[in-house]
Amino acid sequence: MSEIGRTFGRRLFIMLNLASAALLLGHRAFKDAMLHPDELSISPKSVGMFRIYSVTSEMPKFDPKRWRLEVTGLVENPLFLGYPELLALKAIKQVSDFRCVTGWKVTNVLWEGVSVKTLLEKCGALKTARFVNFYSADGEYMDSLTLEQALAEDTLLAYRLKSLPLSREQGAPLRLVVPKMYGYKGVKWVNKIELTDALTLGYWEERGYSANAYLR
C-alpha cells in the first residue's frame, strides 16, 4: 500500500479543515476585495436578508383603527396616539446598517418614521427621568435605552421599511431602530413607551445579553 493511500483519509480531513479555517478567517476579506467602494457610494444598495425573530408563538396583529401608542411614566403630559396621529408627526428618513448580535447584517436599510426625540419633546420628560423603556405588543418583549441614547438624532421609531409600511414580521406598525446598537435593542410591535428613573433589563439582557448593546 502506498504512503498516500495509508493516510489518504487523514489528508482529506486535514485539507477540508484547512479550507474551513480559511473560509472563517478569509471570507470577509474576500468579500471586501470583491466590492468596489466607488460603486457602493454612488448607488447604495441594501444587501442581506432579514431573519425574523419573535419570542412568542404568535406575532401581534395590527389593526389601524384600534392601535394606540402610549407614552407614559415620568412625563409632564402622557401621550396616547392613534396610527393617523403618529403618521401626522414630522417624519424622517434614515439609511443605516442593521446588525444582529447573532452575526448577520443587512446593509443600507432605508427606514422612515418618527424620531424618539420628537415624541419625547411632545410629552416633556421630567427631570427625574433617566431611562426609556420600549414595550412590544406581544406582551413579552421589551428593552430600554438611557434618556440620552433615546434622544440621539438617529434613534427612530420606524413605520416604513424600504419605502413600504412595516410588515407584520418586521414589527408592524412600529419598531425601534438604534443604528449604533445590535438589533436586539430594536423592539418590534412597539405600543408602549415608559420613562423611568431606574434601569429595567430587556428581554435578552435578563438572559445574559449585555445591556450595553453598542456595536464593537
Could you say which of 23, 40, 126, 199 contacts other proteins (CB under 8 A)? 23
Asked whether the beta carbons of 119 and 132 are under 8 A apart, the reply is no
Using the rule CB under 8 A, is 12 a contact of other proteins?
yes
- Nearest distance from residue 82's CB to other proteins, in Å? 26
Distance between CA atoms of residues 151 and 193, nearest Å: 13
SS3 labels along the chain: CCHHHHCHHHHHHHHHHHHHHHHHHHHHHHHHHHCCHHHHHHCCCCECCCCCCCCCCCCCCCCCCCCEEEEEECECCCEEEEHHHHHHCCCEEEEEEEECCCCCEEEEEEEEEEEHHHHHHHHCECCCCCEEEEEECCCCCEEEEEHHHHCCCCCEEEEEECCEECCCCCCCCCEEECCCECHHHCCCCEEEEEEECCCCCCCCHHHCCCCCCECC
56 binds other proteins (CB under 8 A): yes
Count of residues that bind other proteins according to CB under 8 A: 44
- CB nearer other proteins, residue 17 or residue 128: 17
Q: By C-beta, is 67 or 182 nearer to other proteins?
A: 182
- Residue of 13, 121, 197, 201 that binds other proteins (CB under 8 A): 13
CB of 8 to other proteins, least distance (A): 4
According to the binding rule CB under 8 A, does residue 34 interact with other proteins?
A: no
**Residue 51 found at the interface with other proteins (CB under 8 A):** yes
16 in contact with other proteins (CB under 8 A): yes
Of these, 35, 52, 199, 201, which contacts other proteins (CB under 8 A)?
52
Per-residue binding string, other proteins, 152-191, x by CB under 8 A, is: -----------------x------------x---------
* CB closer to other proteins, 86 vs 142: 142
Closest of 201, 203, 198 to residue 131, by C-alpha: 198
Q: Which residues bind other proteins (CB under 8 A)?
A: 1-2, 4-10, 12-13, 16-17, 20, 23-25, 27-28, 49-59, 99, 101-105, 169, 182, 207-210, 215-216
